[in-house]
A and B are shown apart, each in its own frame.
Chain A
Amino acid sequence: MTKRKFLNIINKQRILIAIIILVIYLGLSSENFVSYGNTVNILMQISINGIIAISMTILLLQGEIDLSVGYNMSLVGTVIILLQGYGLGLAVVCGMLTGILVGVINGLIVTKLKLDSLPVTLGMMVVLNGMVLWLTKTKTIRGTVDSFLFLGNETFYSVPYPVMIFIIILLIFILIIRRTLFGRNIYAIGGNKIASRFFGINVDRTRFISFVITGFLVSISGVILASRLNIASPNLGKDTPLFVITAILLGGTSLWGGKGGLVSTFQGILLFGIISNGLRLTQVPVTWHLLIKGFLLILIVSIDGYYVKRAKFR
């Protein structure tokens, strides 16, 4: 293998290498890190954000974004907790319909009114926050039905349900992205929107479907979140967009569309999960976490931007 080829591989797999280095470092410095319990713990922590990251990747690949995911998840959870008394099935269905409806509204506004998805979903984020505050009356509400807790807290052959759901959804969407027309169209739109329209791709429909998928996946993570914590609170989901976008960019998916994929997103979210876990295990004070994660986001988008800029000038 020549030197150049070797460097090329390193450059392409830099996330994987970062994960390996981090795992070795944490494994040496903290005795609790390498254990079955902690591994499951990390997977458990990334599964809720991971499911959202799948849908966000689909949006980012087309150059769209959805900042309302966090409060949408929170709203779904709130609806479920509040309706629990009327029957668990009804509550879950209503909650998921709410989440999907938000996705539909986002999609309709972006495609029919032809607005930028960033400010629209920013506004939607504030609206949803208001609705959660209204539903919870700004208080934390505890769930009453204990049978609902199994989904978030129990295990199937010692694999927690959330992790299983996350892995299954991830595999399904990897297949969809790689093997279907819809997946092809997503990359085409991200590469060049106008050209894809001229090639007969229904750009608006693909974008609309992506927003609906986002609503659907967000509502699944809302169900898991509600089941895991068994509370509805206006503070849930506040930092979700930041974490999800950071993780996706960390994986190497570009903000500008057309570059990246779900495998890189999985790597990114795994790396992000390991970093969060490592911060906790090495006893970095909680007050530092937000600072470190925000700085990470800026650092990564800078590197991403640097590569884009360099590629342009070549």
Chain B
Amino acid sequence: MNKERFKYHLKQQTILIILLALIGILALVSPSFRDPRNFVNIIRKVNIIGIISCGLTFPLVSGGLDLSVGSVFSLVGALALMWQPKGLFIAIVIPLIIACAIGIFNGFVINKFNVSPIIVTLGMLSVVQGIVLVVTEGRNQLGDLDHPYSSIAKSNLLGINNQIVFFIVITIILGMLLSRTTFGRYNYLVGSNSEAADIAGVRINRIRLLAYVISALCAGIAAIISTSRIATARPYAGQGFEFEAITAVLIGGNSIGGGKGSIYNTILGVFIIIILINGMILLSLPYATQIVVKGSLLILAVFIDFRIRQRKFVV
């Protein structure tokens, strides 16, 4: 491998290098970071935000954005625990179908009325949060720890905890879907130039709609895994998840303008965010600092994304 190519590959993997550097520094500075139990902690957090972020990658790649994932997370979690006595099937499948319906509604309004996805999903964020409040009457939903529902996250498959199995399986499926199927490739087409894609015969409306369905469905799955572990659903459980997920997706190097990104990038971004927050907690920085850092990271990510796009146009 010559020098030029090495440099090129190095540039491609900037995010990975940053992640490894972050892990290295934290491992040096904080003894509790090196603790295996902390590793489990990180995986647990990555698992929830990771699944949401991977779903969110689809609308982002196709040129949109979904702010309603946090509320969908709250809704599915609350409904699943409410319907738990009615049986495993109803508790899992019906809430997920409702999540899909929310995704379809998002996609439908965005397609049909040509409205900015951010505004629609911002409205949807309050609508779904409102539904949660109406359904739960603002109370926490408690599940039964002995119910088979609770074993979804707790049992093991081949000695590996189910949460990790779910995370790996879902990311592989979504990664394949985005990079190896026609639907996935069309996402990039729609995101980079929807008019050209339309003229080329891509059904852009269907692609966009499916992207929102995937994002809502993933938020729902994350909610089921989460509520199965802790058997509690707060009505505001998912509040702020949308920002964490968007920041993770952007930090990973996906573009907010659409047409660029991958599940691999998203996962790197998720790890960076979660490990950074975990490190700040271990170094006992106050909660407020964490939020300020999160917000600043989002602005930074938007800035980096812009610079990359700008350079592309110049060259």
Chain A positions near chain B (C-beta within 8 angstroms): 109, 113-116, 118-120, 122-131, 133-135, 137-138, 239, 241-242, 245-246, 255, 285, 287-298, 301-306, 308-309
Contact = CB atoms under 8 A, between A and B. Distances in A.
Nearest to B291: A130
18 contacts: A109-B299, A118-B118, A122-B243, A123-B302, A126-B243, A133-B288, A133-B291, A239-B126, A242-B122, A285-B134, A290-B126, A290-B127, A291-B126, A291-B129, A292-B130, A297-B126, A301-B113, A305-B115
Contacts of B298: 119, 122-123, 126
Given A130-B295, A291-B126, A114 B306 contact: yes
Contacts of B286: 134
Interface in B279-315: 286-296, 298-299, 302-303, 306, 310
A115 B303 contact: yes
Contact of A289 (B124, B130, B288, B306): B130
Looking at A125, A288, A290, which has the most chain B CB atoms within 10 Å of its CB? A290
Nearest to A136: B288
A137 B291 CA distance: 13
Contacts of A133: 287-288, 291
B119 A245 contact: yes
Given A126-B298, A127-B292, A298 B127 contact: yes
Given A126-B243, A301-B115, A288 B134 contact: yes
Interface residues of B, number: 43
A305 B111 CA distance: 10
A288 B122 contact: no
Given A130-B290, A130-B291, A298-B120, A291 B127 contact: yes
For B123, B286, B306, the residue with the greatest tally of chain A CB atoms inside 10 Å of its CB is B123
Nearest to B125: A294
Given A293-B126, A294-B127, A295-B127, A304 B115 contact: yes
B119 to A, nearest CB: 5
A291 B114 contact: no
Given A126-B295, A287-B138, A131 B115 contact: no
B134 A291 contact: yes
B123 A287 contact: no
Nearest to A129: B291
A113 B295 contact: no
Most buried by B among A123, A292, A304: A123
A245 to B, nearest CB: 7
A155 to B, nearest CB: 33
Contact of A297 (B123, B246, B288): B123
A255 B123 CA distance: 14
A287 B122 contact: no
Given A113-B303, A129-B295, A130-B294, A301 B119 contact: yes
Instruction: Pick from B112, B124, B293, B303 the residue with the most CB of A within 10 Å.
Output: B303
Contacts of A303: 113
Contact of B130 (A119, A131, A287): A287
B151 interface: no
B133 interface: yes
A203 B246 CA distance: 30
Contacts of B137: 287
Contacts of B256: 116, 119
Contacts of B113: 301-306, 309
Contact of A127 (B115, B138, B296, B303): B296
B119 A124 contact: no
Contact of B119 (A109, A239, A255, A291): A255
A288 B124 contact: no
Contacts of A113: 303, 306
A27 B295 CA distance: 46
B155 interface: no
Contacts of B133: 287, 290-291
A296 B123 CA distance: 8
B112 A123 contact: no
Contacts of A309: 113-114
Contacts of B293: 130
Contact of B134 (A115, A241, A287, A308): A287
Which 3 A-B pairs have CB atoms at the shortest separation, nearest pair first?
A291-B130, A294-B126, A130-B291
Q: Which of A131, A291, A298, A306 has the most CB of B within 10 A?
A: A298
A241 B134 CA distance: 22
Contacts of B114: 305, 308-309
B109 interface: yes
Contacts of A245: 119, 122
Interface in B224-276: 243, 246, 256
Contacts of A306: 113
B130 A294 contact: yes
B79 to A, nearest CB: 15
B302 A120 contact: yes
B116 interface: yes
Nearest to A287: B133
Contact of A116 (B112, B123, B302): B302
